[in-house]
Structure 1
Amino acid sequence: MNFKELGISEDIIQVLKNTGITKPTVIQQESIRFIKEGRDVIAEAQTGTGKTLAFLLPIFENISPNINTVQVLIVSPTRELAIQLTEVAMKLKEAKDINILAAYGGKDIGSQLKKLKGNIHLIIATPGRLLDHLRRKTIDLSKLKTLVLDEADQMLFMGFKNEVEAIIKETNKKRQTLCFSATMDSQVKKLAYRYMNDPLMVTVKKEEVTLNNIKQHVVETTDRRKQDALCKVLDEDNPFMAIIFCRTKRRADNLEVALHQRGYNCEKLHGDLIQAKRERIMKAFRNADIQYLIATDVAARGLDVSGVGHIYNYDIPENVETYIHRIGRTGRAGETGYTCLFIDPKDQRTLEEIEKTIKFKIPRRELNI
């Protein structure tokens, strides 16, 4: 099945082709037509399944540029995700000139609101910033056609349930509601069914996203020798783009300093950086100006960058889910990925749990240091 068969227009298909996207993913095949027809949809899909385009493509088809009201609202739990969504939407804007407002913390949007003079078609927002606007009456959602709750599980996990419900109450009762979530726990289901009308359920299994195309290795080392081991692996692999995961902000800081001193092209990404710097780093990484992104799990949540062929787990993740989530950022869309996990003796038990869950004994990688 291709995008044309899903009802996507030639102009948008051309924009997708320009970014290297020619074939719809499973989640896109199963949900685009229904969303375009105006159905409420609950979709359970991991990061990397193409879920952003699964809702953005039909939304772009349905937006009327000549109607000067807010027609679509996408609510996202974090600024990083909102930034990514905005970048994808801005790309699609090349095919259809609609006005997009990104409303998230750390961004001055007073000037943007003035520039748009209230003529906004699509809003991408985090809950707190959006509520602020609703209270000030600077945004009107009374004629909203479509509401998207993106990463709904994360939104509830971060304690935004009341905010989300307050936002929903400000919208048009006849709106279409789309709920996208990596997991479909009881909390998400409860929220979805309370505010949705006969929703269609679409599920993309985890296995399609994770592990199938990913070659995994473990390097056994000690904490003291870990840096040398990492550098040896980086020199041997020399990946085009890679993410290196650290357990804490401090370890990310220390590793960045050490790698810079050794001449590696790297930047760190974590919650203590000011918003403008985080945006700059993420943009540079997406443009492949940075070879190695050193990140914590929180900072990398939702970080969906094409071209990441390698994931290095400098520190072992706290649990199996985090391991799968980390390595699932590679091996996307039929490409093969590579991941390497560095462990010291105290990590042995966590490693055994990971291997037990994924039903696979990860091969050891021998280094000559």
Structure 2
Amino acid sequence: MTKFNDFAVSENVLQAVSNMGFEEATPIQEQAIPTALKGLDLIGQAHTGTGKTAAFGVPMVEKLEKNGSTVQALVVTPTRELAVQVAEELNKIGQYKGIRTLPVYGGQDIGRQIRGLQKRPQIIVGTPGRLLDHIRRRTVRLGQVSMVVLDEADEMLNMGFIEDIEAILQETPQERQTLLFSATMPGPIEQLARRFMRDPQKISVRSKEVTVPNTEQFHMVMEERQKFDVLCRLLDTQSPDLAIVFGRTKRRVDELYEALNKRGYSAEGIHGDMTQARRDSVMRQFKDGSIDILVATDVAARGLDITGVTHVYNFDIPQDPESYVHRIGRTGRAGNTGMAVTFVSNREVGHLRTIEYGTKSRIPRLSTPTVKEAIEGQQRIAVEKLLKTVESEDITHYQPLADELLNEHDAETILAAALKMLTKEPDTTPVKLTEEAPQWSKRQNKPYQGGHYRRNKHKGGRGRRPYNKK
């Protein structure tokens, strides 16, 4: 296994990646970093969770000059969350070399971004729409950019950003180095590469390497109306440190996190209709552990890299294998173990097989926990809390009170009462969730073959048909 100190990079960069906890390179990093350091164009086919940001961030920071007064590198991402996440990681990689990164994205005050740009960052990470806005205002000038990265290119295609990307690339020098990362390679992405890249080297991380080997994967079959109670039982029995629950729609996310709070769980939601300030606040709470459960849509959670997520629950089955891999990639990261559980209705079992076919993995079935098991799980947590307090907290001020109680009651009774108070017993508060239609396989009983979809204008925008693959 290649280590980071095997790469031809400076001590400043090595110190930064060491502080970030990186020692051994992932497969995409092992192949991409030497290629990018040589100045070659690169197409990397890899999913999220494989270490893509460091794969382009290490060579980018290594090659840039601290004293440059203009933007030297550009990263284009599909979502604001991914822009923020990538910028954070690049700032960590560049901290000792003095290379600064600024994220620019829609939903944030543009005046604030202009003030940040006036401080002359060497790298800009942005979403296509906001980048074009800055280019038109002349607050971002790309004439001196030496490296451009297109991150999650297939997702930008899905979101209709290809023309924006072409307009952005036309603002950069022809002799720039271009790196493109994409989970899949549909025809329009290949055309983009042929038009804007120079003899790119191709790197591909195989499916079996990206389906998060450190994550146990399971599915559960149930009726739609049973889903919420089953989720609560899983939370009670598995007691995740941090969990992400994925819902298919914004309405589903809102109803789910409100229902979880009604049942006594610490949960918040995130989706595209929320203000950026609200989304930022929710993410801060989740990262610092103020809330235990994040309920999210696919788009809102793209690019999030939060350490410590132990469980992912697909309350609604993902629409395709790529979405499934993106979702479960939120856990089992950086060598840690995780668990992903997908809820499947009887009518969606065929769609589950499509996901298994697309990810080349079997997802075993998990039985539903009983109420007794849920109570036992919460009792176990209560005992762990009590023992942790005994071992690590100063309880001397409480011992005189304990002596008084022991004079009136026996120790077993007192301890049982304490455990009962600490135990979160299953809550049956009624909740109502709007039923979602089942997810059908896109090719009607045929194994999913990959590819992305666009609106069929001949059917009034309602139909969807795949891009033809060349």
Q: Which band: TM-score by shorter chain? A: over 0.9
Give 2:392's aligned residue: none
Give 1:96's aligned residue: 97
Give 1:61's aligned residue: 62
Q: Please report how far the alpha carbon of residue 110 of structure 1 lies from its aligned counterpart in structure 2 after TM superposition.
A: 2.4
User: Taking structure 1 as the reference length, what is the TM-score of the superposition?
Assistant: 0.93
CA–CA distance in structure 2, aligned partners of residues 96 and 289 of structure 1: 33
Alignment of 1:248-267 (within 5 A): 248-267=249-268
Give 1:38's aligned residue: 39
CA–CA distance in structure 1, aligned partners of residues 117 and 228 of structure 2: 50
Verify: 1:235 aligned to 2:255, yes or no.
Answer: no
Query: 2:348 is paired with a residue of what secondary structure?
Result: helix
Q: Residues 194-251 of structure 1: CA distance to partner in whole angstroms, max 9, x if unpaired?
A: 1111211111112101053332223333333322211111111111111111122112
CA–CA distance in structure 2, aligned partners of residues 131 and 89 of structure 1: 22
Q: Please report how far the alpha carbon of residue 82 of structure 1 lies from its aligned counterpart in structure 2 after TM superposition.
A: 0.7
Corresponding letter in the other structure for 2:192: L
Corresponding letter in the other structure for 2:259: A
Q: Please report how far the alpha carbon of residue 356 of structure 1 lies from its aligned counterpart in structure 2 after TM superposition.
A: 5.1
Q: Please report how far the alpha carbon of residue 125 of structure 1 lies from its aligned counterpart in structure 2 after TM superposition.
A: 1.1
Q: Residues 129-179 of structure 1: CA distance to partner in whole angstroms, max 9, x if unpaired?
A: 111111122211111111111111111221112111111111111111111
Q: Please report how far the alpha carbon of residue 83 of structure 1 lies from its aligned counterpart in structure 2 after TM superposition.
A: 1.2
Q: 1:111 to 1:213 in 2, by over 3 A?
A: closer
Give 1:143's aligned residue: 144
Alignment of 1:1-369 (within 5 A): 1-114=2-115, 116-117=117-118, 119-210=120-211, 212-355=213-356, 357=358, 358=360, 360=362, 362-369=364-371
CA–CA distance in structure 2, aligned partners of residues 300 and 115 of structure 1: 25
Q: Residues 61-89 of structure 1: CA distance to partner in whole angstroms, max 9, x if unpaired?
A: 11101121111011111111111111112
CA–CA distance in structure 2, aligned partners of residues 191 and 150 of structure 1: 13
CA RMSD of aligned residues (A): 2.0
Corresponding letter in the other structure for 1:307: G
Query: 2:61 is paired with a residue of what secondary structure?
Result: helix
The answer as to whether partners of 1:47 and 1:304 remain within 8 angstroms in 2 is: no
User: Taking structure 2 as the reference length, what is the TM-score of the superposition?
Assistant: 0.74
Moved more, 252-261 or 325-334: 325-334
The answer as to whether partners of 1:315 and 1:343 remain within 8 angstroms in 2 is: yes
The answer as to whether partners of 1:256 and 1:294 remain within 8 angstroms in 2 is: yes
Q: Please report how far the alpha carbon of residue 307 of structure 1 lies from its aligned counterpart in structure 2 after TM superposition.
A: 2.2
Q: Please report how far the alpha carbon of residue 113 of structure 1 lies from its aligned counterpart in structure 2 after TM superposition.
A: 2.9
Q: Please report how far the alpha carbon of residue 118 of structure 1 lies from its aligned counterpart in structure 2 after TM superposition.
A: 6.2
Q: Please report how far the alpha carbon of residue 319 of structure 1 lies from its aligned counterpart in structure 2 after TM superposition.
A: 3.3
The answer as to whether partners of 1:217 and 1:365 remain within 8 angstroms in 2 is: no
Corresponding letter in the other structure for 2:131: L
Corresponding letter in the other structure for 1:47: T
Q: Residues 77-110 of structure 1: CA distance to partner in whole angstroms, max 9, x if unpaired?
A: 1111111111112222422223333211112242
The answer as to whether partners of 1:103 and 1:124 remain within 8 angstroms in 2 is: yes
CA–CA distance in structure 1, aligned partners of residues 147 and 96 of structure 2: 20
Q: 1:9 to 1:307 in 2, by over 3 A?
A: farther
CA–CA distance in structure 2, aligned partners of residues 286 and 354 of structure 1: 30
Q: Residues 11-48 of structure 1: CA distance to partner in whole angstroms, max 9, x if unpaired?
A: 33333233322221111111112212211111111101
CA–CA distance in structure 2, aligned partners of residues 127 and 115 of structure 1: 18
CA–CA distance in structure 2, aligned partners of residues 295 and 111 of structure 1: 27
Query: 1:224 is paired with a residue of what secondary structure?
Result: helix
CA–CA distance in structure 1, aligned partners of residues 321 and 138 of structure 2: 44
Query: 1:225 is paired with a residue of what secondary structure?
Result: helix
CA–CA distance in structure 1, aligned partners of residues 357 and 62 of structure 2: 45
Unaligned runs of 5+ in 1: none
Q: Please report how far the alpha carbon of residue 365 of structure 1 lies from its aligned counterpart in structure 2 after TM superposition.
A: 1.8
Query: Percent identity over the alignment?
Result: 46
The answer as to whether partners of 2:230 and 2:369 remain within 8 angstroms in 1 is: yes
CA–CA distance in structure 1, aligned partners of residues 62 and 249 of structure 2: 42
CA–CA distance in structure 2, aligned partners of residues 338 and 115 of structure 1: 40
Q: 1:95 to 1:289 in 2, by over 3 A?
A: farther
The answer as to whether partners of 1:99 and 1:116 remain within 8 angstroms in 2 is: no
The answer as to whether partners of 1:146 and 1:177 remain within 8 angstroms in 2 is: yes
Corresponding letter in the other structure for 1:326: R
Unaligned runs of 5+ in 2: 372-470
Moved more, 1-10 or 25-34: 1-10
Moved more, 235-244 or 214-223: 214-223
Q: 1:83 to 1:218 in 2, by over 3 A?
A: same
Q: Residues 242-293 of structure 1: CA distance to partner in whole angstroms, max 9, x if unpaired?
A: 1111122112111111111222121111111101111222233233333211
Aligned residues: 369
Q: Please report how far the alpha carbon of residue 119 of structure 1 lies from its aligned counterpart in structure 2 after TM superposition.
A: 2.5
The structure having more radius of gyration, on CA atoms, is: 2
